[in-house]
Amino acid sequence: MEGRTLALRDELFTNDALVFDRIASRRLTYGADAGPRLEVAFPDTDLLGVWTKPGAGYICIEPWHGWADPVGYTGDFRDKPGVFTVEPGGERAMTMSIAVRG
C-alpha cells in the first residue's frame, strides 16, 4: 500500500488472496482516477479479502468474517478467529453495498 492506495498487479496474488485484518474503514473505492468507480461498503465485517487468478482480468472484493485455519491451528472449529454462533431460530444480518460513482 502507498498511503491509502493499493496498485493492483498479478504478482500480489501469486500465493493467494490478500486479507486485510486491521482495517480502519469499512468502505473502499475501486477504479481509475478518471471514469466510473465502484464504491464497496461492508459495515458488518472485520476482514476484507481481495483476490484474482493472475492473468484473469478481474478482481474479487469480498468482505469476510473468517478464513481458513491459521497455520498450525489445532483447536476446535468454534474457537477459530471469525467464527460466531447463531442459535436455532436466531439470525445475524451482514450487509454489503456496491454503488457505481462518477
pLDDT cut 70: percent of the chain above it: 100
pLDDT band at residue 2 under the 50/70/90 scheme: confident
pTM for the model: 0.81
pLDDT tens for residues 13-48? 998 899 998 888 999 999 988 889 999 999 999 899
Q: All 3 cell numbers of residue 2?
A: 502507498
Question: CA triplet 86, 90, 91: central angle to 5 degrees?
Answer: 75
CA distance 97 to 73: 33
